[in-house]
Amino acid sequence: MRFLIMNGAGNRFAVFDSRQQPDFALYDGKVKAICKPGSQVMGPKGADQLIILRAPKSNDADIFMEIWNREGGQVNACGNATRTTAWLYMRDEGVDVCRVQTNDAILHCRAAGEKRIAVDMGPPKLEWQQIPLKEAMHTHHIDVKLGPIDDPVLSNPGAVSMGNPHCVFFVDDFTTVKPELAGPMIEYHPLFPEQVNVGFAKILPPDDNGMNRIRLKVWERGAGLTLACGTGACAALVAAHRQKRTGRKAIVQVDGGELLIEWREADDHVIMTGPVELEMEGTF
């Protein structure tokens, strides 16, 4: 079977191309063993997610992407993995567009330069039932705090689903807020019945062209602190605009690189553009 190691802005994936072997399957323990840092398959860095490529389940798609986090659970969306899957399909087929199917949606992708892919992530889901939350509330700001009630360290995050649930806090300083400590506490907050990806976003001054900029760190449910999170970058831009912190377009700087995110007003869709890297290609 063809096996690849790919990453998108530092978000690292073990990719199994099972389109010619439809019976191929992995169980949670095997996924964890492959993805863990130091594994024989992935080396010292390990993998943030494991991707299984399959034949599409619909005539409206070109390829199906099955997504596992490194703790052995399946998830419905991963923006960076979508870019890597789309790039691989386009390279193999000699085309500039691709439709990637996940358990959540069919995502339309296009080439946007040398090893750069733009993905239409669709409209964000903003109703409390869609995220989902355990109880009804407005999602511009949700009632989640960390620290003393009268002087919380973190408060008033925005909630967004980009195919998976996100809670985005806005911070002034990453030295006083430690994502690796706060993330796991928020991930299992009782308000989130499916757990949650936790974003920590700092609004930066615009660049010389007036483009909004956001510095972002994401604690991914089932994966921990990662170098990048594509859906997290989309959620951060949406949450920032809803709280009137930025416009509808921004460069989101993550530990592994930069992603350009635009929340289009015309059709409500979020467009994510970013890099793809192929680290290794061979046979498993």
Please give the average per-residue pLDDT across 169-180, as a whole number.
90
Other beta carbons less than 10 A from residue 106's beta carbon? 17
* DSSP secondary structure, 68-102, as one string: EETTS-EES--HHHHHHHHHHHHHHHT-SEEEEE-
Domains of the chain: 2-121+275-283 (3.10.310.10), 158-268 (3.10.310.10)
Residue 150 has pLDDT above 90, yes or no: no
Q: How far is residue 246's CA from residue 284's CA, in Å, rounded to a whole number?
A: 45
Least confident of 26-30, 147-151, 178-182, 183-187: 147-151
What number is the average pLDDT over the span 198-207?
A: 96
Q: Is the pLDDT of residue 148 over 90?
A: no
Helix 230-242 vs helix 79-93: crossing angle, to nearest 10: 130
User: What band does 223 get if pLDDT is binned at 50, 70 and 90?
Assistant: confident
78 flagged as catalytic: yes
| Burial call 19-43: b when 16+ CB within 10 Å, e when fewer | beeeeeebeeeebbebbeeebeebe
Catalytic residue among 98, 109, 229, 234: 229
Give the integer Cα–Cα distance in Å for 281 and 283.
7
Active-site residue (options: 35, 78, 109, 167) = 78
Q: What is the mean pLDDT of residues 195-203?
A: 97
For residue range 85-124, list pLDDT tens digits in order. Answer: 999 999 999 999 999 999 989 999 999 999 999 999 999 9
pTM of the model: 0.93
pLDDT, one tens digit per residue, over 57-76 is 999 999 999 999 999 999 99
How high does pLDDT run on average in the chain? 95
User: Can you tell me the distance from the alpha carbon of 89 to that of 119, in angstroms, rounded to the nearest whole number?
Assistant: 14
269: number of Cβ within 10 Å: 15
* Cα end-to-end distance, the chain, whole Å: 5
Neighbours of 130 (CB within 10 A): 14
Q: How far is Cα 212 from Cα 241, in angstroms, rounded to an integer?
A: 11
Helix (H, G, I), strand (E, B) or coil at 180: helix
Q: Tell me what pLDDT residue 84 has.
A: 97
pLDDT > 90? residue 176: no
What does the alpha-carbon distance between residue 214 and residue 254 come to, in Å, rounded to a whole number? 9
- 167 has catalytic annotation: no
pLDDT tens digits for range 2-47: 999 999 999 999 999 999 999 999 999 999 999 999 999 999 999 9
